Structure 1
Amino acid sequence: MQRIGKSPSLTVDTSVQGLKHRLGTFTPDSLLFLAQGILDHSADLLDEGDGRHAFELLERELSEVYDHARRLRCLSRLRLAARSHRIYRHCQDEPFTSYASAKPGGYAVSLDFLNGGLMPLGTPKPAAMIFDHLTASTFALSVRLLKTLTRAYIEDVRTRRARPRILALGAGHLRELEDGPFDLSRVEFTVLEQDEAVCAFLGHKYQKQLTIINASLGEVESSFRDRGSFDLIYAPLMFTLMSDERARRLLGILKNQLAGGGKLIVGNVAATADLRGYLTLFARKGLQFRCRPELKALADGPKFDVYGDPFNNINYLILKNGLKSQP
C-alpha cells in the first residue's frame, strides 16, 4: 500500500497490497484467524531478535486488519485476541505503550518518549526492540514535527504581541519549550493537564512561571472559561481522546476564548496513521482517528482550515480569529 510521504520497502509494500486484496473476502472469524497469525509471526520474530520485521507487522499489516475489523464490527473480539496474546506482554513492557495505556493523560503524555525520551534501564530485550523501531518510525517523526510546528506558532505569537497569553491543552511535558531559549517572563502561559505527575514535573521545572490546571478530560470545558481570552490555544492530540460530540462542543468553547488575531491549533491522529491498529489494540481503546473531512466536520463554520502532515499520520485543524486585537 503506497502512501504519499512514505517509503516502505518493496517487500512490505507488496505484502500489504496482497493482504488488502485478501481482506475484502474475510469474515469476522477468518479475519481473527489472520490476526492471530500476524501476532504469532511478530512474536516469533521478536524471539529471534528480528525487531525490524516484527515491528513492520505490528505497524502496517495489523492496521489493515484493524480497519476491516471495524467494518465487520468485530473490533472488540480483535482487541481481546490481541490482549490475550503473548506479544501483549512485550508491548506493555515497552515504555511508550505502557504510558499510553496506564497514565491518566494517556496517549498525549506518552508522546514524551517519541520526543526523545530515554528508554528505562531494565527494559526487556523484546520491548526494547519495539521501542527502538517505534521511536524511529514515521509516526514518531510526525510527533516531532508536531513539536516543531507548535514551537513555530509560539514564536510567531511572541513576535506579534508584547505579552501574549497562551493556553496549552493536554500538551504533556511541554517539550516544545525546550527547542531553544524561551523567556517565560514575557508570556502568560496556562497549562491544562490531566496527569498529576506531569503537573508536578512542570511545577518543579518552571517554578511558578506557568499557571497549571490539573483537570480530568470531563472537566476541561469548565476549567478555563473565566480566565479571559488567549492569543494562542493549542491542543496537540487531546481531541484523539474525544468523541465527536465532546470535541465539537470543546471547539466551540475554544473558539470563543480566542483573542482578536489569535490562533487555535488542534491536532488529531489521522485515520491513515501507520500505528492506528497498534495504538488501539495495545495502547488505549477508544481513540478517535479522524481523516481531514471528519476533522473539518467538527468545526462550526468555514473559517477553520485543515492540513495533514507529510506522512499522513497527524491532521491539523487551524483557526485564526480575524477580529482585530484589543490594544
Structure 2
Amino acid sequence: MLVTIIAGARPNFMKIAPIVHAIQAENAKGKNIDFRLIHTGQHFDKKMSGDFFEQLGIPEPHANLEAGGGTQAEQTAAIMVRFEQELLANPTDLVLVVGDVTSTMACAITAQKLKTPVVHVEAGIRSNDWTMPEEINRLVTDSITNYFFTTSAFANKNLKETGIADDRIFFVGNTMIDTLLKNRNRFTAPPIWNEANLTEKGYLVLTLHRPANVDQEQNLKLLMNEIIANSNGVPIIFPVHPRTAKNLQGLGIYAPNLHFIEPLSYLEFNYLVERAKLVVTDSGGITEETTVMGVPCVTLRDNTERPETITVGTNELIGTDPKAIAPAFGKLFKGEWKKGGIPELWDGNTAVRIVAHLLEIGIKG
C-alpha cells in the first residue's frame, strides 16, 4: 500500500514526522506499506519550513509543488493544479492530509476528484468561527474525507453529529505530541537565551499572527501595550511571524523588556516555551504543546478548536479584548494558575496507532 503524505505549512511538519517514521519502521519489518512525501510549498521561508525537515529527521520530499504565495484562492488553485499533475504521474492508494491549512483542503479535493481515498489526521476539530480560513478548510476537508483520525473526544463528537459512521472514525491521539516528546531532550537554546540573560520561569513568550489580532493597527497596539504594562518587567520574547512584522512597522512599540526576534526553528522555539513563565499566543498548536509541558498559556482568541487544552490542560481562553490581559496576568503573577493535565492518548504513540489502522484499511481494500 502506498500512502501519499501532504505537508504544506509549518504545523504540518510536526504532524507528519512521526507518521513517516512509523511507516518506515513497519516497512523495514516487511509490512506492505510505503509513502510518497509531497511538499506543496505553501510555506517557503526556510525558518518556516526547511529547517523542520532537517531537525525532525524527515526525508527530503519526493516532490515540491512550489505553490507558495498569492491570495487564498490563488494558492488553493495552484496547489490543486500541481497536485493533480503529481497524482496522475504517481498514482497512490491513499492521500493523507493533516491539520487545517490550505494544502490540506486543496489536496483532499484533488484526490477525491481523481477517485483516491482521503485520510484526514486531526479530523473533527472545530472552532465554529467561519471568519477563520482554517475553519473553512476543516469543514470542506471533513466533508469529503474517507477515514478520520482524531485527537480528542470533542473531535469524535463533532464528526458523529454530522453523521459520520463510527467505523470511519479512529481516535488515535495527537501526532504533534509524538514529535514533541521524541524531541524534548534535543531542544536547543536560541541566541536570545544568552543575549537577554534569560532564566527558567523568568520570561514570557509571545506569538501573534491571526487577522483579528494583527490586521487592525490600533487593536494590535493596544494588545501590545497591555501585555507590556502587565508583564511586571520580565522579558517578553516575541518571535515575529512575517505577517505580524509587516503590521508592526511604524507602530512605535517599544519597551526595555520587549525583544522582537526572527522566527525560531522548532527545537529553539520549544526550548523557550518549556522554560517560560507564561506563553501568550493566538495559535492552536502551541496550546497543545504548553499543555503537555505544563506551561501556563493565555490564548488571545474568542474561540478555540482545541477545548481539551482548557478543560484538561494549562490553557486559558481570554478573548481579543486587551482589557482581559490584566486579570489573566494578575492570576499568573499571584501564583494562582491551574496545574493542568495531559489529554487522553497524548502519549507519544499516536503515529504507531495511525499506521496500524492504515494497514487494516489496506487489508480491507
Please tell me the TM-score bracket, short chain as reference.
0.3 to 0.5
TM-score by length of 2: 0.31
TM-score by length of 1: 0.33
